[in-house]
Amino acid sequence: MTKIRMLLLALMLTACQATPEMAELQNRNADLQTQLAGAKNQINNLKAQEKDLQARVQELTRVSQVLSVEKSSRVEESSTLRLQVRKFVQQQIDDLKAFLVTGNLLDYVGSELIKRSQVDSEAMGLVDFAHPMPRSGSLTGVAGYFSAPTDLRLKILRPINKKFVVIWQSDMLSIAKAGENQIQLPVSVGVEPGDLVAYVFPEATNVSFDKGTGDTRYTDKDLALGDALSMSSFDGEDEKRAYSLGVLTILE
């Protein structure tokens, strides 16, 4: 009996000692519950903010797409308008050129287009020093009196620092028949006062000439774009050749 009492007393003492520890655990558990509730509230708030941000992103994306479509529409409309204006202006230019050609109203720079006494049979480049451009304007074509069909290329030489610099050349032009011919350039090119015209024949020249009445000089050089040539680069100074060649222009 005494042992039983002692055992009960020990159990009671143990229970009294465990009560503070249990209370502390319960307090810590309550704190954790409070922290968990706060974390859940923060998560819910962040989810709400995320949803709001997603809605704003979607709205901004929609507005950006609308602006992109509007900008593309304006660019397309502007491009179409510019194209129509360019076509209209080019048509007016073409009509004016056709009118000037038909009415024989173009300016002519070169020697008279007549049949002459001599003809060159070799390939060469001719530069007409007797007829520099008198004023600014546009070069629109070439005219000549040819002894046979031939091909030629026009080039413009501009005097710069006592040199003659090749600044432009045409595509190859084909003369289909003998006699007087005129060929219009696909696109006019601007010229300035003092510019010289070179006529480059890759094969037979087939243009008649006289001596003593002009100042056309010749060379076997290619006259490539960018070449800077001196007067000594050309032959024929003493011959004073006049070829039945010239260019059609619209001068100011």
> 27 has which bridge partners?
none
Q: Would you say residue 145 has pLDDT above 80?
A: yes
3-state helix, strand, coil in the chain (%, to 5): 40, 35, 25
Tell me the average pLDDT across 167-181. Answer: 94
> 128 has which bridge partners?
216
Q: Is the pTM of this model over 0.75?
A: no
The span from the CA of 74 to the CA of 105, in Å, is 43
Enumerate residues 6+ apart whose C-beta is below 8 A from 125: 155, 198, 199, 200, 201, 218, 219, 220, 221, 222, 223
Query: Contact, 243 vs 128, CB < 8 A?
Result: yes
Tell me the average pLDDT across 209-214. Answer: 95
Q: What's the topology of domain 107-251?
A: Jelly Rolls (2.60.120)
pLDDT tens for 132-143 read: 999 999 999 999
Predicted confidence band of residue 98 (pLDDT cuts 50, 70, 90): low
Task: Please provide the average confidence, as pLDDT, over all residues in the chain.
Answer: 84
pLDDT tens for 40-88 read: 888 888 888 888 888 888 888 887 777 777 777 677 777 777 777 776 6
Query: Contact, 141 vs 185, CB < 8 A?
Result: yes
Q: Would you say residue 160 has pLDDT above 90?
A: yes
Tell me the average pLDDT across 17-38. Answer: 75
- For the chain, what are the domain ranges? 1-105, 107-251
